[in-house]
Amino acid sequence: MREMEYRTLDGTDLKVSVIGFGASPLGNEFGAIDPDEGERAVQHAIDSGINLFDVSPYYGRTLAEERLGKALAGRRAEVVLATKCGRYDVNGFDFSARRVMASAEESLKRLRTDYLDILHAHDIEFGDREQIIHETIPALKKLKAQGKVRFVGVTGFPLHVLADVAVRGRADIVMSYCRYNLLVRDLDAELTPVLRENGIGLLNASPLHMGILTECDPPAWHPAPEEVKQAGQAVAAICRRYGTRVSTVALRFCLNYSYAASTLVGMSRCSQVKTNLEALMMTIDAALMAEIDRAVEPVLNRVWKSGRQENNA
């Protein structure tokens, strides 16, 4: 097994594993899991060199944080721990300073720690942009000044919103999801150049396009158009013909994007950890990549609306 690779996350002094542990599956977001197996997956990931763990009170409506906190008992010092605030239910958002401060304290208790390495404002396109800049991020920075948070960031889907808020709010980090993978590759259009220019770090999430680039059906709540889901099935079939897993190819493709310090992928079983680690040893065959590109071309960069109308201009 090839050793884990690490990159420095711009805007911070954090060295993070290029593969990050996305903990949303610990909250049953993709179906019920075995909690004991989830805990073993966390342990196996740490033992294998994965040091970035990302969660949110929204995932499983606090369940993912509870389970991750339990799994990290005795190993907190070995990991870079990130969670979020602002989103608490499907339509439950509160980006007020008061709620940010309370949410951080609640997350610290669930995660069984006295500090967070990263605290993000979660899915900021569902909030008022000016409130995020002038109230939410200042509250995050207050927590930073108190020593409860080391670095602050924002997450979301619309790239222009992330770029605007990160720069005007002077965030340390941006987490983008579903905007750089085999099906969507538009980070360089509106986001990455802005982050580079301003020294802001980038984390890339959802290399499997939230379950489309797997051998399983995506979750029923997936917002992608049907033709995108069909393209994902076509890519999976191509990978099978080449004797490889679509999930491994999809993750390797994202690892090749050097500005993203880490790519976060959801895990809840040891077998998933093992499969994801295989991407470290993989080189994508040029012929395979050419076939994937042809299959994806009709739907490349096909995205969906997310958040408030004014944030989808």
In a domain, 293, yes or no: no
In a domain, 217, yes or no: no
Q: Which residue in 59, 88, 180, 257 is the catalytic one?
A: 59
**Arithmetic mean of pLDDT over the chain:** 97
Structure confidence at residue 75 (pLDDT):
98
In a domain, 187, yes or no: yes
In a domain, 102, yes or no: yes
Query: How many angstroms separate the first and last alpha carbons of the chain?
Result: 46
- The rounded percent of the chain whose pLDDT value lies above 90 is 96
Residue 313 pLDDT grade (very low, low, confident, very high; cuts 50, 70, 90) = confident
Mean per-residue pLDDT, 101-107: 98
- DSSP notation for 211-274: TTSSSSPPPTT--S-HHHHHHHHHHHHHHHHTTS-HHHHHHHHHHT-TTSSEEEEE--SHHHHH
Q: What's 195's domain CATH number? A: 3.20.20.100
Name the strand (E) or helix (H) holding 177: strand 173-177
Structure confidence at residue 1 (pLDDT):
62
In a domain, 93, yes or no: yes
- The rounded percent of the chain whose pLDDT value lies above 70 is 100
Residue 228 pLDDT grade (very low, low, confident, very high; cuts 50, 70, 90) = very high
Residue 51 pLDDT grade (very low, low, confident, very high; cuts 50, 70, 90) = very high
pLDDT higher than threshold 90 for residue 89: yes
In a domain, 46, yes or no: yes
The answer, as to whether pTM is greater than 0.85, is yes
CA 183, 188, 192: angle at the middle one, nearest 5? Answer: 120
In a domain, 141, yes or no: yes
Residue 245 pLDDT grade (very low, low, confident, very high; cuts 50, 70, 90) = very high
In a domain, 276, yes or no: yes
Structure confidence at residue 112 (pLDDT):
98
Residue 58 is a catalytic residue: no
pLDDT higher than threshold 70 for residue 210: yes
Could you read off the pLDDT of 184-199 as tens digits, one per residue? 999 999 999 999 999 9
Q: Can you tell me the distance from the alpha carbon of 87 to that of 93, in angstroms, rounded to the nearest whole number?
A: 5
Structural domain of 121: 6-211+250-281
pLDDT higher than threshold 90 for residue 290: yes
Mean per-residue pLDDT, 19-46: 96
Q: Can you tell me the distance from the alpha carbon of 290 to that of 306, in angstroms, rounded to the nearest whole number?
A: 31
Could you read off the pLDDT of 154-169 as tens digits, one per residue? 999 999 999 999 999 9
Residue 133 pLDDT grade (very low, low, confident, very high; cuts 50, 70, 90) = very high
Structure confidence at residue 296 (pLDDT):
98
Mean per-residue pLDDT, 146-154: 98
Mean per-residue pLDDT, 5-20: 98
Structure confidence at residue 219 (pLDDT):
86
Name the strand (E) or helix (H) holding 19: strand 19-22
Q: How many domains does the chain have?
A: 1
